[in-house]
Amino acid sequence: SEVSSPCLLPSLDPGSHSQDLKGTGLTLADLCRTILAQQLPVQHPAAGSPHPPLCSQKYFVSSLGVYANSFAGAGVVQGLLAQGSASTFLPIVSFLGHARQDHIDFGPAEPHTVLFHEPGSSSVWVGGRSKLYLFDFPKGKNASVHMVNINSTKGSCRDKRDCENYITLLEKQGEGLLVCGTNARRPSCWILVNDTVMLLGERKGYAPFSPDENSLVLFDGDEVYSTIRKQEYNGKIPRFRRIKGEIELYTSDTVMQNPQFIKATIVHQDHAYDDKIYYFFREDNPDKNPEAPLNVSRVAQLCKGDQGGESSLSVSKWNTFLKAMLVCSDAATNKNFNRLQDVFLLPDPNGQWRDTRVYGVFSNPWNYSAVCVYSLGDIDKVFRTSSLKGYHAGLPNPRPGKCLPDRQPIPTETFQVADSHPEVVQRVEPMGPLKTPLFHSKYHYQKVVVHRMHASNGETFHVLYLTTDKGTIHKVVESGDQEHSLVFNILEIQPFHRAAAIQAMSLDADRRKLYVSSQWEVSQVPLDLCEVYNGGCHGCLMARDPYCGWYQDRCVSIYSSQGPVLQSINPTEPHRECPNPKPEEAPLQKVSLAQNSRYYLSCPMESRHATYSWRHEKNVEQSCEPGHQSPNCILFIENLTDLQYGHYYCEAQEGSYLHEAQHWELLREDGAMASHLLGHARALAASLWLGILPTLALGLLVH
């Protein structure tokens, strides 16, 4: 909203402006014709004018729902406003950037970016189109930029896009940085040491031929694993390969069906020979039932020490491949989420590999999302104990998927059984007694990172940062144990100056910073953005942000506070009382209005979990419940009468906490000045409604 204070509501008089819109029965077609017939400029009161401004076009569009019942097409408009905003998992607070977020622009747009950040460092490397950027954020606004050109080495190409060198891989290599890119469809790598770039030549498997190709590259010491095809015009079947190490191996062509790779990791287990590679992917569903989902999500295992097989058919293949289905569904609501989007592994703080938590972001065909949490111990158990799907004879010894000590090759019989029946029967289910998602939402989440932190009382919280398809980040707090998890979506962050899709995200848990990139810029976002919570002590505590607390009349980070902070994070515990238990009253604002005029009162809904109400004297005139479709709670006064002048209060109620957000007094004004101002409102009505036309047109299409 461009106007957060009250404003005069322009009336729309169709045709000769002799009738008001409300109650006329005007159809959408009539309304559109009226709007198209008028193109009047928008005007505002002169600077210093005591009169309220006319409602701005942007504000008017965002509050269109107030008029929804005024014309025949109301259902279309209401449905349109609900899309993408109504949710069962709304963030408590939403804000559009903050001074402590540091941004640096690329200049020309970068259609593909990749990040590399060393934990504890204040800088981040960003790979773009034939360029490598180094952004250093030691002091926020004094951030420095260093750029290195890494142009393609190919002289001629079929088209301009093919000539580009899109950087797709950044990896630390000793004292240098390994940089790999498409290099005009001839993938190559460079090494950067002390600002000196040296070409290493073509490196098959380190970078794709096109930046749009789905690919993974995994490093572990001197070994490198990749899903990138080696040849551009053959070898179309995706494989998981060991491309550098003792023996080059690849997966059989029949064990995966059109896989889309998401994440790969090395897990060092109790014995070195038992170390595993786990990779997560989704693939085409072998079940061709029309009611079955098109895709299924999987986790695959490989023994890191796999030496291949004994026969000519198995000597160059992974012999320990098995795959299992990842389940993310809620039986209570009959919701299934079958498309894996991203995975983040959170190691156990005590070093117990079985207790590593695997956070998976899933979506369904309607782009609703869910987060399911698994343990590596459960995944390992499924592969060690489950039977094989479609195989009914006795399992050979050693059983398929078993890692062998002393670099032994896998027997041919074991390989043949696993190769023809690669899927295990048992499915991997989420942690917890109910085996259900941590939460699900109408938002479309795409990426996730998780930060484990300790509040001022020592309680441990897992804080999820999830990117949306709208280019925002949701901060979601998980508390409690796996038996009784509590989850709150507490904050929505717009990380960029220019709204855009988030291409890459990296977490620095040590410095408590989040790095994100779009095609236009890179941003450093502090995890402890406590200044965004308004409403004094109560507003700070009701946000339930474990990074924040009340200290010396300010909402501060627990990491920068000079003394003990007041926090009230767990809703199951009694609410901690603020030093001043009586909430502050909102400052009184006055406006003079003529009798019989129309009027808006707008109250920003800063907390999505609170109920906002407009009270006139002692009577509640308007109530906006949590999940309200508009970012503001609007009180529309159709016709000001003697009884409607006086004091209006906007109050936010969340639990036992009542906060006065706004206080207005409407005063009677003499008729001459009011008529002049309302004349402006009527003259400008059509031009203001012109801005709503695209919204209404889209609503008709949706309907």
**pLDDT one-digit tens code per residue, 549-574:** 999 889 999 999 888 999 987 765 55
pLDDT of residue 407: 87
Number of separate domains in the chain:
1
Give domain status of residue 636, yes or no. Answer: yes
Contacts of residue 419, defined as CB under 8 A and 6 or more positions apart, other chains included, come to 252, 254, 255, 314, 317, 321
Give domain status of residue 598, yes or no. Answer: yes
Helix, strand, or coil (residue 61): helix
Give domain status of residue 651, yes or no. Answer: yes
Give domain status of residue 410, yes or no. Answer: no
CA–CA dist 500, 518 (Å, integer): 6
pLDDT of residue 27: 43
Alpha-carbon distances, residue 351 vs 62, 267, 576 (angstroms)? 50, 11, 35
Specify the CATH number for the domain of residue 655.
2.60.40.10
Task: Write 527-531 long-range contacts (CB < 8 A, 24+).
Answer: 527/451, 527/453, 527/463, 527/465, 528/557, 528/558, 528/559, 528/560, 529/98, 529/100, 529/101, 529/491, 529/493, 530/555, 530/556, 530/557, 531/98, 531/100, 531/555
Give domain status of residue 602, yes or no. Answer: yes
pLDDT of residue 97: 58
Query: Largest alpha-carbon pair distance within the chain?
Result: 99
Task: Write 30-34 long-range contacts (CB < 8 A, 24+).
Answer: 31/71, 31/73, 31/689, 31/696, 32/693, 32/696, 32/697, 34/686, 34/689
Contacts of residue 423, defined as CB under 8 A and 6 or more positions apart, other chains included, come to 322, 323, 324, 325, 388, 389, 390
Q: What is the pLDDT of residues 183-237, one digit of tens each?
A: 999 999 999 998 899 999 999 999 999 999 999 999 999 999 999 998 887 667 8
Residue-number span of the structural domain to which 631 is assigned: 589-668
CA–CA dist 195, 6 (Å, integer): 56
Which residues, given as ranges, of the chain have pLDDT below 50? 1-88, 672-703
Give domain status of residue 463, yes or no. Answer: no
CB atoms within 10 A of CB 472: 21
CA–CA dist 338, 296 (Å, integer): 5
Q: Which one, of 672, 597, 674, 664, lies nearest residue 6 by Cα?
A: 664
Q: Is the peptide bond before 564 cis (omega within 30 degrees of 0)?
A: no
Angle at 117 between CA 112 and CA 119, to 5 degrees: 155
CA–CA dist 534, 86 (Å, integer): 23
* 3-state helix/strand/coil string of 491-550: EEECCCCCCCCCCEEEEECCCCEEEEECCCEEEEEECCCHHHCCCHHHHHHHCCCCCEEE
Q: Which one, of 86, 83, 93, 87, lies nearest residue 475 by Cα?
A: 93
**47-86 burial by CB neighbour count: b if 16+ within 10 A, else e?**
eeeebbbbbbbebbbbbbbbbbebbebeebbeebbeeeee
Helix, strand, or coil (residue 267): strand
Helix, strand, or coil (residue 586): coil
pLDDT of residue 342: 99
Helix, strand, or coil (residue 553): coil
Contact yes or no for 444/468 (Cβ under 8 A): yes
CA–CA dist 31, 543 (Å, integer): 42
Give domain status of residue 46, yes or no. Answer: no
Angle at 509 between CA 504 and CA 514, to 5 degrees: 35
Alpha-carbon distances, residue 347 vs 63, 265, 403, 643 (angstroms)? 46, 12, 23, 64
Could you write out the DSSP letters of every residue in 591-646? EEE-TT--EEEEEE---TTSEEEEEETTEEEEEE-TT-SSSEEEEEESS--GGG-E
Six token digits for residue 119: 């934990």
CA–CA dist 27, 8 (Å, integer): 24
Give domain status of residue 466, yes or no. Answer: no
Contact yes or no for 85/629 (Cβ under 8 A): yes
| pTM of the model as a whole | 0.78
pLDDT of residue 335: 92
Contact yes or no for 655/575 (Cβ under 8 A): yes
Axis crossing angle, helix 28-37 with helix 671-690, rounded to the nearest 10: 100
Task: Write 44-49 long-range contacts (CB < 8 A, 24+).
Answer: 45/677
Q: State the DSSP code for 703.
A: -
- Structural element, H or E, at residue 415: helix 412-420
CA–CA dist 382, 403 (Å, integer): 15
Q: State the DSSP code for 116.
A: E
